[in-house]
DNA sequence: ATACTTGCAAATTTTTTGCACTGGA
DNA sequence: TCCAGTGCAAAAAATTTGCAAGTAT
């Protein structure tokens, strides 16, 4: 049978992807819904959830670890590192060269077929370290 | 002074901590509730949530990234690495020597006061790679 | 045309909270 | 004592799902 991926590039899917790619803030499904809504007022939150889930499954986007309570997403599937402020909860990207070698090591130890990895640093951001300055 | 935290070691807190320390499965609040319940039948789910939250805040336990939908916890606060099967969702510990040097680098780049970091590898576990064998 | 997708709404699941009572230090 | 902590229950938040209608391919 033809067409194994079976995914269609609908307007909703495209806009969700575009909005996600446009920010570096690792939005939650609801945050994304709010911004997508400005372009597609009739889109539903359910559709956003469904698409994020499907695309994450297909590896087109990345589901990142819980910074807080909610699930967050990232359009950059390439391995990259995050840093989270334990005080204000902000999550930022960190331009640190990923250590791919680690994946080989992890594969050897675990027997898993490694597809990627991600790293999150925890700490207190400059603003929260010095409240007066903020 | 000895204890500025103001935390009391209640029976509930102690049992939650013990049960969490007894497993390596990084349970969700509800899973933990189920096991704590066997020892303290009258404990409430709310209490489990409250304690996990408080202890995570105090750094006595670790809140780990969303492996799936729910928040998960880990009694080991030392930096250690996880590996998650993208097929079955299982999360396991990985005995890989943590690269503390990374924290220094991250601190230099970001200006954050780094308190820790964690790494999660994604991949397919041996069982899921070969279903017939499992 | 076919069957993947959507919007809507209801249902679930997960987490938080108010409150009066309890128990640890 | 006295206030952090608890159980309970209700509320809020987050996520999923059934279904009829819409639309990429």
Region label for A26, one of left (φ > 0), alpha (ψ between -120 and 50) or beta (otherwise): left
Point out the residues of chain B with pLDDT beneath 70.
1-5, 65-71, 75-79, 86-90, 131-134
Instruction: Give, for A125, the enclosing helix (H) or strand (E).
Output: none
- According to CATH, where is 3.30.1490.190 located in chain B? 78-126
* 8 A C-beta contact, residue A106 and residue B96: yes
CATH of B78-126, one of 1.10.150.120, 3.40.50.150, 3.40.50.10320, 3.30.1490.190: 3.30.1490.190
Q: What is the C-alpha separation between B61 and B10, in angstroms, rounded?
A: 16
Class of domain A1-76: mainly alpha
Which residue stretches of chain A are H helix?
A: 11-22, 29-39, 45-58, 101-110, 126-129
What pTM did the predictor assign? 0.74
Output the pLDDT for position A4: 45
Indicate if the pLDDT at residue A71 is higher than 80: no
- Written as six digits, the tokens of B9 are 């070691």
Query: In this model, does residue A70 exceed pLDDT 70?
Result: no
Residue A49 pLDDT exceeds 80 = yes
A-chain CB neighbours of B94 within 8 Å are: 106, 109-110
Rounded Cα distance, B125 and B111, in Å: 37
The residue lying closest to nucleotide D22, measuring its CA against C1', is: A10
> Which of chain A's residues 34-73 bind strand D, using a 7 Å CB cutoff?
45-46, 49-50, 53, 69-71
Domain with CATH 1.10.10.10 in chain A: 1-76
In sequence order, the 6+-apart residues with CB closer than 8 A to the CB of B17 are B55, B60, B61, B75
A13, A51 in Cβ contact below 8 A?
yes
Nearest partner of B19 among B31, B8, B7, B10, judged by Cα: B31
């Amino acid at each position: 049978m033809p067409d194994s991926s079976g995914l269609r590039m609908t307007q909703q899917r495209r806009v969700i992807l575009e909005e996600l790619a446009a920010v570096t803030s690792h939005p939650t499904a609801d945050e994304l819904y709010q911004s997508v809504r400005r372009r597609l007022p009739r889109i539903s939150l359910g559709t956003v959830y469904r698409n994020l889930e499907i695309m994450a499954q297909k590896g087109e986007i990345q589901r990142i670890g819980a910074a807080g309570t909610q699930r967050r997403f990232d359009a950059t599937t390439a391995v990259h590192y995050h840093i989270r402020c334990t005080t204000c909860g902000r999550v930022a990207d960190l331009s640190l060269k990923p250590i791919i070698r680690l994946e080989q090591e992890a594969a050897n130890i675990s027997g898993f077929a490694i597809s990627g990895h991600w790293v999150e640093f925890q700490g207190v951001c400059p603003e929260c370290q010095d409240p007066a300055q903020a």
